[in-house]
Amino acid sequence: MKEKITERFLKYVKFDTTADPNNFACPSTEGQRVFANYLVEELKKLGLEDANVGENSYVMATLKGNTEGVDTIGFISHLDTAPDITGKDVKPRVIKNYNGEDIILNEELNVITYIKDYPELSELKGHDIIVTDGTTLLGADDKAGITAIMTAVEYLSNHPEVKHGDIKIGFTPDEEIGRGADLFNVEKFGAKYAYTIDGGVEGELEYENFNAAGATIKIQGRNVHPGSAKNKMINALHIACEIADSFPANERPETTEHYEGFYHLNDMNGSVEEATMIYIIRDHDRKSFELKKKKLLEIRDDINVHYNHFPIKVDVHDQYFNMAEKIEPLKHIIDIPKRVFEALDIVPNTEPIRGGTDGSQLSFMGLPTPNIFTGCGNFHGPFEYASIDVMEKAVQVIIGIAQEVTQYEK
């Protein structure tokens, strides 16, 4: 199976599917459409005759079950890769029996993955791993997930003796720019619940994530010649600094972990005349999340009161919510993969996701969707890697879930 996984993954990462946050079409890049069409043809060759792709490049297909009275479940991954660094002309390299030491990705450019910076790599000693040449990302996020799903589908198609119900397959565009589930047709998909295969290291089984909001702060200053500025100039940049300093220093991404939320100043630009700040607000607890949004408005009001023209305008919009609200009441959705993990000697890690996932939006759209590991890490950059050994375990988990669902008593 490892050879098939390797072959498939190396083929998939050659597709340039970088998402474009500045293009509001869906998909945001043509490469995602090309990849979606390729996957549909591959699914049809595997016997999934209903495999199809819509105009927005959402791929859907059904692996018909061989057991009646079983919940229809789904497995979902995303087509796109992050825009943080190019996904074009990816040159992957397979390292057999990795020695657990520093990896020279590109000797000429002196790009090296140091174990001291990424100590989790030492746990992959003896694995076959795939890395980049240090000039692009790898695309494991989430072509590893697609590889695992497709390999599991191929196995189940070739082994009709393995009992399973109907299994829905879904691949979405533009997850990396927060739009992956926007046009996902839950009713058409037809699963009772699903699993995104979009996690990191072995054992991840995630069903909690941040509540998330975005905030755009616009500041209108007043620019006059600095030589005659006294009591006239209002420097929008200084107000921006005052706003930033008003948030607790211990509630930033770099000072928080686990269940701790944060305010993150993601972008700031401007001049004396006007400035813009972009914040993201995150918290796992809904009450704390609402209080964080409220604090931002209080900061606005506390500063505005000192000016006649109320220079600060704030637009806050919710982005997604903690999927635990929808999943925790349905205990069996987590118990099923936990039993599979136990059978495969995989230790489950149910730490909350310090970010978002298609599964969050899908859960609130009526499709409860936890997240499962792929065996990859260092996403969105040149140090990205994939463990073929752990990807194989992800395939085994998918197959195991399909089987375990037939044992679930409704």
Is 90 exceeded by the pLDDT of residue 250? yes
The pLDDT confidence band at residue 179, using thresholds 50, 70 and 90, is confident
At a CB cut-off of 8 Å and minimum separation 6, what does 204 contact? 349, 351, 371, 372, 373
Tell me which H or E stretch contains 385. Answer: strand 385-387
CB neighbours (10 Å) of residue 191? 23
Dihedral, CA atoms, 354, 359, 361, 366, nearest 10 degrees?
Answer: -140
Residue 383 in contact with residue 105, Cβ under 8 Å?
yes
Does the pLDDT of residue 409 top 90, yes or no?
Answer: no
Averaged pLDDT score across all residues of the chain: 95
Give the pLDDT score at 330: 93
Which among 56, 148, 18, 78 has a CA at the least distance from the CA of 356? 78
Catalogue the active-site residues. 80, 175
Report the C-alpha gap between 244 and 131 in whole angstroms. Answer: 38
Is residue 198 pLDDT above 70, yes or no? yes
What is this structure's pTM?
0.88
pLDDT tens figures, 278-334: 999 999 999 999 999 999 999 999 999 999 889 999 999 998 899 999 999 999 999
**Cα-based torsion angle of the residue sequence 351, 355, 359, 362 in order, rounded to the nearest 10 degrees:** 140
Q: Which two tokens stand for residue 285?
A: 């607890």
| Region 1-27 average pLDDT | 96
Name residue 88's amino acid: K
- Copy the structure tokens of residue 214: 């975005």
Read off the pLDDT of each residue in 322-350 and give the average, rounded to a whole number.
Answer: 95
Q: Across residues 339-360, what is the average pLDDT?
A: 91
